[in-house]
Structure 1
Amino acid sequence: MPPRTAVTGRSQEPRRRFAEELRLLRTQHGESLRQLGTALGWDASLFGKLESGQTLGSPEVAEALDQHYGTPGLLLTLWELAAADPTQFKERYRRYMTLEAEAVSMWHYGVSTVHGLLQTASYARDLLSAGGLRGEDLTEQVEARIGRRALLDGDEAPRFRTILSEAVLRTPLAAPQEWKQQLEHLVDVAGRVHVTLHVLPQASGPHALVSTDVMFLRLPDGRTVAYTENAHRGELIEECSSVERLQRAYDAVRDLALSPAESRKFVMRMLEEVPCEPST
């Protein structure tokens, strides 16, 4: 069967299509970027970057543009598709991102950082900049990471379990307010019926995953794959015996972790320990 020709002639790549739609709507309304910025209360340069594909902006911007143009839900839907598009991620992560989007359940262990699905924008920016990203590359990767959080939204979201080493919660961001926001976000997400949060106390001692971040994905066909990661590389593991070995190690770590109720109290205590920023 020959490939289907796009009826509109516009890009079928989500990020580019979002940018094209924004540019078309503004042109149809006869507005300049400056006029659009004045009408919506954002700097005109933001809309220029949106239309050139340099940035995706936030869902709040997409919703404001929908209201401005009288296109309820259209631009927000295009934004969601662009944010979830795996092609925006570095090449070595793309297959994993595709599988993550298809997963019916997920379970994770974090050695030193909060998983990307649970990160705030400030946490993601600090983490990615520590890894060497700068400028537009940093902005794009932060947006891509925050866009992934939509996987945990809604009634059809997959079940997600995370075990965080105590070290994760004792490695704060430099800005106390931003760290407080990250801890509050963990508490909020852990309150969802499909999300379970555990904390693994430092007193638990050595275990088989002591230096390994790992995520397991249960796929619609019943297979389970694993993804292990450190600061420099990640590896997708699909061979059954290797996945099973990692699963046994994960189960042993889960047995050592605090219960969800105890874990929530632990995060709340961490929140109480965040220093207040000095008043200006």
Structure 2
Amino acid sequence: MVLATELARLRAESGWSLRELADKVGWDHSQLHGLERGRTLGGPEVIEALDTVYGTKPLLMRLWEIAKQQVVFRDKYVRYMELEAEASVIEHYAGSFLHGMFQTEAYARELLWSTPHLPSQILELEEQLASRMSRHELLLSETPPHLRAIIDEAVLRRPLLDAGEWRGQLAHIAEMASQPHVTVQVLPYSVGLHDLLGGLVTLLRCPDGSTAVWVESSKSGELFEDAREVEQLRLSYDALRDVALSPQDSVAFIEQVMEDSAPCDPPAST
């Protein structure tokens, strides 16, 4: 397991014993031993603590996420996560829900918890939530990927149940759009039908010049790496980019939706 190997290597280079490391991160040394031997994956809290102590953030959390996906998801999704971590440019279209990198914790929680589940599955959902939130670290690294997002108006018209949390989500998108390596465009209803309607499409351009495309629905996903299939999806994405609102107009659109969602003042009493 890559995560276990990396944890063992980092501790060996540090010269710390397991007990010394345990004192630094505040976790039992036996659990840390299990992580290094690949007997357990642990949770996001201990991995985050190790990332902080070793100064490797977000490397270990990304490796943990990939390892977790190997247990929970199919191999093609693991491949997608690996490509996302390597990509120098990420372009995506959100047709029905926001991409994970744009989701606030409140949005991600409501989306994850909408899946029918039992009380015994709450811990698993919490782990998925922590994993999704860790993806934000990719944009905060020293060399983040360039991120372009085309967000369908339908996504911006489907609010969270809590109006305050929804305005917070909209504000988060607008704030992200102000970053120099992030571009946000809104695709208004007025453009009509198009080839990528619904779901979520992500194009991953890697430093070696290759491109892969991930097409996702709420329950499944498909990874495309064949050049001809990728080119077809690339053309469909470019067509949307051409008719979407400009980045400046898109931020204004999002701010207007945010203003429209604000509670109205009660009428003055007479």
TM-score (norm 2): 0.77
2:113 and 2:174 map into 1 onto residues whose CA distance is 25
| 1:4 aligned partner | none
| 2:225 aligned partner | 238
Aligned pair in 2 of structure 1 residues 27, 196: CA closer, same or farther (>3 Å)?
A: closer
Pairs within 5 Å for 1:169-248: 169-248=156-235
1:28 and 1:215 map into 2 onto residues whose CA distance is 42
Report the secondary structure of 1:141's partner residue.
Answer: helix
Aligned pair in 2 of structure 1 residues 272, 98: CA closer, same or farther (>3 Å)?
A: same
Per-residue Cα deviation, 1:204-246 (whole angstroms, up to 9, x for no partner): 1001111342100011211111000111110000011111111
| 2:82 aligned partner | 98
CA contact (8 A) 1:54 1:140 kept: no
How far off its partner does 1:153 sit? Answer: 1.3
Amino acid of the structure 1 residue aligned with 2:95 = V
CA contact (8 A) 1:123 1:173 kept: yes
Aligned pair in 2 of structure 1 residues 101, 122: CA closer, same or farther (>3 Å)?
A: same
Amino acid of the structure 2 residue aligned with 1:262 = D
Gaps of 5+ in 2: 29-39, 266-270
Pairs within 5 Å for 1:98-117: 98-117=82-101
How far off its partner does 1:259 sit? Answer: 0.2
1:151 aligns with 2:138: yes
Amino acid of the structure 2 residue aligned with 1:87 = A
| 1:270 aligned partner | 257
| 1:41 aligned partner | none
Report the secondary structure of 2:180's partner residue.
Answer: coil
Per-residue Cα deviation, 1:233-268 (whole angstroms, up to 9, x for no partner): 100000111111111111111111000000000111
Q: How many residue pairs are counted as aligned between the two chains?
A: 237
CA contact (8 A) 1:169 1:270 kept: yes
| 2:35 aligned partner | none
How far off its partner does 1:32 sit? Answer: 10
1:255 aligns with 2:242: yes
1:84 aligns with 2:62: yes
Q: For 1:136, which of 120, 123, 139 is the aligned residue?
A: 123
CA contact (8 A) 2:91 2:203 kept: yes
How far off its partner does 1:13 sit? Answer: 6.5
Amino acid of the structure 2 residue aligned with 1:264 = V
CA contact (8 A) 2:152 2:187 kept: yes
TM-score (norm 1): 0.74
1:201 and 1:32 map into 2 onto residues whose CA distance is 50
Pairs within 5 Å for 1:34-53: none
How far off its partner does 1:57 sit? Answer: 3.7
Aligned pair in 2 of structure 1 residues 248, 102: CA closer, same or farther (>3 Å)?
A: same
Amino acid of the structure 2 residue aligned with 1:101 = A
1:143 and 1:277 map into 2 onto residues whose CA distance is 35
CA contact (8 A) 1:106 1:158 kept: yes
1:170 and 1:58 map into 2 onto residues whose CA distance is 38
Aligned pair in 2 of structure 1 residues 119, 76: CA closer, same or farther (>3 Å)?
A: farther
1:12 aligns with 2:5: yes
Amino acid of the structure 2 residue aligned with 1:83 = M
Amino acid of the structure 2 residue aligned with 1:99 = L
1:11 and 1:242 map into 2 onto residues whose CA distance is 36
CA contact (8 A) 2:167 2:262 kept: no
How far off its partner does 1:27 sit? Answer: 6.0
Gaps of 5+ in 1: 1-9, 34-51, 67-71
1:56 aligns with 2:44: yes
1:237 and 1:127 map into 2 onto residues whose CA distance is 25
Q: For 2:152, which of 165, 172, 186 is the aligned residue?
A: 165
Kindly report the root-mean-square deviation, in angstroms, between the aligned alpha carbons of the 2 structures. Answer: 3.3
Percent identity reads 36
Aligned pair in 2 of structure 1 residues 203, 97: CA closer, same or farther (>3 Å)?
A: same
